[in-house]
Structure formats: structure tokens, C-alpha cells
Structure 1
Amino acid sequence: MVDRGSRYVAGTEGAPPLPPPGGYRGARRVAPTTPPVAPPASGAPTAPAPPPSAPPAAWPLADHHAPEAAAPRERSAHTGAMGWIAIGAATVFALILLVTLASGAVGALYGTTLLVLQLLVLVAVVAALCTARGRLLGAAALAVALVFNVATLGGVGAVGAEALGAYDGQKSDEQKFWEAYPGIKDDDPGQALYQPSLEDVRAEAEATLAAVRQRLTAEYGIQWVAVGDEVLRPERNGYGGESMLQQYTSASWASTEPITGYTRKLAVMHTIEDVLWERGWEGMWAFNDPRSGIDPSIIQKMYGGDRPENQVNWEWYAELWPDPGLFYADIVDLANDGTGQYRASREATSARTGEPLEGLQLVVIAGELLSADDAAAYEDALKRYP
């Protein structure tokens, strides 16, 4: 029969484990309470009060197991001196670049001084990024340096100067003086006065082109269409400016039908040469001929074949020596285009300019010409130069 009133029987099986030495962590000893005592009956002698009990002893090793309050940890500053140096250097350098750009000194942006300062700023930014306390401001300095640097502001300045032509501020007085030179560097300035004027060359070119067209129409029945207007372009003087001389390109003329076959093309070119001889031009030279002295690989690439018999393009020219003038006669014969590459190129050109897809084209080009209307001003301008 089991004594149910007893908590544990027959040893310690089933009993909870003993507490560890020193007790459980954070455990508190509860002071024992004294059960209330009934007041004595009246007339009965009272027992003396017991002495006050001593306070309960502390748990062993209580100091070791009791949780300790964490000591306040000193927080480090978010930024350090290196970060402030980097952001300050980047900001000051950005201001220097902006002031330089605003003053129009575009060339100074690529000077040695600013390039060295840019390198120093970069070193300061990298040093700040490598330190824990300077990393925040170092990142901000890096952002500033990426936006405001020699490359970005220099590019902005160059584009602006190109659009406005504002390069004068960086040129010396001597450079500006020679920039206005009316002739061409290292050329005889008097040559433009002695040779035929722009108006004379234009008249000769138009007359020669008309004579060639008439002869070809009469002998081969070729009809013509204008495919380009006259173009005048100022010649550069070699000192960074424009001279008073001009390059002349006549209106271009093209045949309205193809000219194919080696024999027919050769006959047409010889007829052109005959007309040019009659008008005082030199004999014609064929760039596309292997005997021209041009590298055979270049001839193959430019003209679509290594021999005139199988070439797509022919290019002949003649000079009006000693007067300025070059007469060009080009033939495009797509019957020799075995790859279709030249046809595709010609189709794109024809769609853009409206010229015939293939056939013969004629044009005259002459350079370093002085208009008769500018001759007096040209002479006066030359007097300022030694």
C-alpha cells in the first residue's frame, strides 16, 4: 500500500534535480514568515519578544551570477578629420573649376596646375574612404568630384566655346594677328593676284562642262541632268583662321542612262579628253588604272576590281595647268558589281541626293581662288603682314 501522503518514497527516483552550486541564476532568497500567534489570554503571563532575526544571508556566489548592468559605451564620432579634408578639397576644387569656366578660360582647365590639384583631391577622397570615421564624408566628396572635374567641365567648356566661337580669350595678341592672315601659310600671297580670279575659273569651268556635254550628246546620244549646285568654301589660312581665298566646286552633271562595257566607256573618256585638249587642258589620268602607281589593293577596294575591264568605278581627271582647275569624269557601271555591295551604296546615295543610280558624272574643282571683288581688300590686308 502506497502512502499517498508522502511526497517521495523509496529513494530519490522521480525527484527534481538539485540546484547547481550557488543556486540558480537570478534566484532570490525569500525571508521566512512567522505564522501569526494568537494573543495571550487576559491575565496570562506574556513571553518575552524574541530578538529580531538577522537578515537572510546572501546566496553563495551571488555577485558572480547576478546580471550586471552594462557600462555605457562611448560612441565614436561619425566623421573624422580625413572626411572633412576630402569634402572641403572637393568643394573648393569644384568652385575653382566653375570660376575658371565662367571666365571663359577653357584652355586653363587642361593646364598642369588644375590637373595636379585634381590628383590631390583624388588622393584625399581615397584616403577618406579608407577610414571608418571619414567614409561618410569621403563618399560625398567622391560624388562632388565625379560631377565637377577637369574632364566634365572641360568638355562642357569646349562644347560651349565651339558653339559660340569663344576661343579668343585664350589666344595671344600675336596668334589673333596671324589668325586674320588673308593668304595661306607658306604660300606666295601674290599668287592669288596673278592667277585667274574666281569669276574667271567659274566661267571656264561652266564653258568646259557645256562643251563636253554637247560633244557626248552629239556622238553618243547621252542626255544630262544637274545633280549638284555650285559650292564655295573658304580656305583655311594655316594659322587657325580663314583666308580670303575660296575653293570652288562647280555644279555637277550626270548622264541619265548607264554607260556600260569596257569599249564604250573607254571611247567616252577619250572623247572627253579630246574636248579638254581643245580648250587648253592637260591630258587625262586614270586613278583606277593599275599603271597610275596606286597600290593594287587600294585600287581593288576603291574601284571594285583590279583591272578597268572588271571595275565598277572609273575615275579620270585632268588639270588646267598652270591655272587652277581639276576636271573630274567618273563612271559607275553596276554591271560589274558581282557582290551587290556597290549597288547598295549607290542606292543609298541616290536616295539622298536624287542623282542617277549609275552612269557618267562631270565636275570641276579649283582651290585658293580670289574673287575679283575682294582683290583690293586682299592687298590692303597683306600690307599689315611682313
Structure 2
Amino acid sequence: MVSSQHDRGQYLGGADGAPPPPPPGGYRGAQRMRVPAVPAAPVAVAAPRRPSPLGWTVLGAAILFALVLLVMWGAGATSAIYSLAVLALQLALVVAVVAALVNTRARTLGAVALAVALVVNVGTIGAASALAPGVSKLGPSDPKEDHWAAYPGIKGQSEDEILARPSLEQVEATADEVMAAIRDRLTEEYGFQWVRGRDGGTRSERNGYGGESMLVQYTSEVWSTTEPVRDHALKLAAMATIDEVLADYDFYGLVALNDPSTGFDPAYLERFYGSADPRTQSEWEWYSDDYPGPMRFYANVTDLTHDDGGRRAAREAQVAGTAEPVEGLRFSFLVPEVLSERDVDEFTTRMDDYPY
């Protein structure tokens, strides 16, 4: 008889109830199963898709249409820009751009074509052409409007009023004389030396009827000190001397536009002059005129001691190409709506066509 307890003892291992470990070297005849290696399947790489011919076609059409509009703009052909044919071409281009945008392969080039069409189109170029001086108007011209566009005077001003003003030549001579007197006084009292900055010139005034008047706006040359003027007391003294010279020529007293006493909002002073305090301002601007005469006088002092850099850059750009220094005291005249003596005869003759 075999003991069941003995039988159980033959199979007890080091852990309760666990089967015994295999003998050293493993069981005879046992072989390790080898799993054959499976080669990795090659990853298919999609070839890059080439843009659709539709995209190139639409982009080329958009560029060509933009060039045509720019040529029309340069020629001043406003009426042609708004013609039925051009509007139809733009509509066709819009349809083509939409078709390109919904096409996956043409979408990128379609987006570029859309950008071109948004910048250069009938609306933008037509508006620019209509605003440019001297271009043709939309549709047939109005003879009455054309007649008044050639008005030689200025709307709201009578012929007698215009002829009673000093001529262009007279205000030029007065400006030269006054500025020479100012330079002499300031040199005598403060030792200032001078350099001529921006040149003077004229430009035509608008007549109020969509055209150019025979009257012009005169801007004198600018005279500036060769050195900066930074002392607060010296600035005030120099302006007082200028005021005395202007009084000798029947100009009104100088007004400090940069001073809080003018009543301007402090934010306005900070924006235009750098500060609401004249002692820390980057720019001073004083003004006078000979009302009811047309002459306007400006005296400025640029002192960048308290500037953070922004005004210096703007001032450097302003004086670029001239001998005018960035900082210093400077002055000039601005005279609007004056008539040259050599144009008086033509002016009076042409005014006969516009009886009031």
C-alpha cells in the first residue's frame, strides 16, 4: 500500500503547491520554439502632388487683369475701368478664383490669385483713378462742371478782393526783408549764426470747383541757427526779439502755440510738442500774421534734450537733403492765395467768363 502523504511529498517544491523547477540543463528532448522573423512591410510614400493647371491659369489671369487695370489707371481712363467689358472680366475672374479655391490641388494658387484680386480690382483702381487730379470723370463730362473747373479764382472770393491783396512778388520781397532783419538782430544780440535750410517755392491753390486756381501758395525758404538753442531763458529772449522786429512791419504779436496758456488740451501739446511743459518740450512753435493781409510767420525751436528718440528720427527725415540742422531756432513764412503780377492780365480776362 502506497501512502498518499508520501506521494504528495514527491511533488512539493520550494513554494507551497508550486511545481518543482526543471533540472539543470532542462528536460531532455525539450527544444526552444523559434519564431521566424517577419520582415517589416515597406511604407508607401505618396508622391508630392503637383499644383493643378487650373491654379496656374487662375493666378495668371488675376495678374494679367491687375496689370491691365494699372495701365488704365496710369492713363487716367476712369470711364474705361468702369466699362461693362471690364466688369464682366472681373466677374469671370471671381468665378475662376472660387473654382480654384474649392479644388484641392489648385487651392494654394487660388488663394494667391484671390489676394491679387482683392488688392487690385475695379473698385480700388477706379477709386484711385477718380481721386487723382486731372483724370477723366465717370461717364460723359458735364460742360457746366468743366466750365467752373477752369475758374481762375477761388470760390467765395471776388475778383476785386483777390486783386487788392499783395502780389506774389510783393510778399516774397517782404518775407526776405523781414527775415533778414530778424537774423541781423538775433546775431547782434545773441551771436547766432545762420544757415539756409529748405528752399522756398509755390504750389497752385484749388479753386473750389474741382480744378486749379491761378492763385498760388508761397512758402519761403527756412533760416536756421547753426547751433542748438537749449537754454529756456535764451529761447524766450530770442522770441521776444523776433516779436519786436515783426512789430516794425505791422505784424501781430507772436503767439506761443506750444504753451498751455493758449488753452490747448495737454494731450494735444504732448502729441505735437512732446510735453505739456514748455521746459521739457522737444518743439516750440510761435505764430504771427499781418491780418487782414495774407502773410503768416512761424518760428520754431527744436530741442531734443528730453526726446526719447522718436522725434529725432522724424526731424532727421524732415531735413534730409538740406543744410538745415536737426536742432536749433528756425523761421519761415507761409502765404496762401496770392496772384503773381505777371498773371494779372490773364486772370482778369478769364474772370470775365464768370460774372457774379
Partner of 1:367: 336
- The answer on 1:316 being equivalent to 2:286 is yes
Q: 1:331 to 1:124 in 2, by over 3 A?
A: closer
The one-letter code of the counterpart of 1:107 is S
Is residue 82–residue 126 contact of structure 2 (8 Å, CA) maintained in 1? no
1:203 Cα shift? 0.9
In structure 1, what is the Cα distance between the partners aligned to 2:343 and 2:198?
Answer: 26
Deviations 1:299-322 (A, max 9, x none): 012111111122121000100111
Q: 1:347 to 1:168 in 2, by over 3 A?
A: closer
1:20-169 correspondence runs (5 A): 106-107=78-79, 109-110=81-82, 152=121, 165-167=134-136
Is residue 184–residue 236 contact of structure 1 (8 Å, CA) maintained in 2? yes
Partner of 2:11: none
Deviations 1:329-381 (A, max 9, x none): 0001122x252333343344444433112110010110000111111111111
- The answer on 1:232 being equivalent to 2:202 is yes
Structure 1 counterpart SS, 2:286: strand
1:161 Cα shift? 8.3
TM-score, normalised to structure 2, is 0.67
The one-letter code of the counterpart of 1:240 is G
In structure 2, what is the Cα distance between the partners aligned to 1:244 and 1:299?
Answer: 36
From 350, 353, 358, the counterpart of 2:322? 353
1:173 Cα shift? 1.3
Is residue 234–residue 247 contact of structure 1 (8 Å, CA) maintained in 2? yes
Deviations 1:67-100 (A, max 9, x none): xxxxxxxxxxxxxxxxxxxxxxx9xxx9xx99xx
- The answer on 1:220 being equivalent to 2:154 is no
- The answer on 1:187 being equivalent to 2:153 is no
Is residue 276–residue 282 contact of structure 1 (8 Å, CA) maintained in 2? yes
- The answer on 1:250 being equivalent to 2:233 is no
Partner of 2:354: 385
- The answer on 1:295 being equivalent to 2:265 is yes
Structure 1 counterpart SS, 2:230: coil
What runs of 5+ residues in structure 2 fail to find an aligned partner?
1-60, 103-111
Is residue 114–residue 150 contact of structure 1 (8 Å, CA) maintained in 2? no
Q: 1:163 to 1:276 in 2, by over 3 A?
A: closer
Q: Percent identity?
A: 44
From 314, 328, 333, the counterpart of 2:303? 333
1:1-20 correspondence runs (5 A): none
Is residue 171–residue 295 contact of structure 2 (8 Å, CA) maintained in 1? yes
Is residue 281–residue 319 contact of structure 1 (8 Å, CA) maintained in 2? yes
Is residue 227–residue 354 contact of structure 1 (8 Å, CA) maintained in 2? yes
In structure 2, what is the Cα distance between the partners aligned to 1:192 and 1:379?
Answer: 10
Deviations 1:97-152 (A, max 9, x none): 99xx699862364489986996699679979x99xxxxxxxxxxxx9999999963
TM-score, normalised to structure 1, is 0.62
The one-letter code of the counterpart of 1:299 is L
Q: 1:340 to 1:109 in 2, by over 3 A?
A: closer
Is residue 109–residue 150 contact of structure 1 (8 Å, CA) maintained in 2? no
Structure 1 counterpart SS, 2:337: strand
Is residue 179–residue 239 contact of structure 1 (8 Å, CA) maintained in 2? yes
- The answer on 1:376 being equivalent to 2:345 is yes
The one-letter code of the counterpart of 1:254 is S
Is residue 253–residue 288 contact of structure 2 (8 Å, CA) maintained in 1? yes
Deviations 1:142-179 (A, max 9, x none): x9999999963566677788899441684321121111
In structure 2, what is the Cα distance between the partners aligned to 1:340 and 1:116?
Answer: 52
Give the paired residue count. 286
The one-letter code of the counterpart of 1:106 is T
CA RMSD of aligned residues (A): 4.2
Is residue 200–residue 220 contact of structure 2 (8 Å, CA) maintained in 1? yes
Structure 2 counterpart SS, 1:334: coil
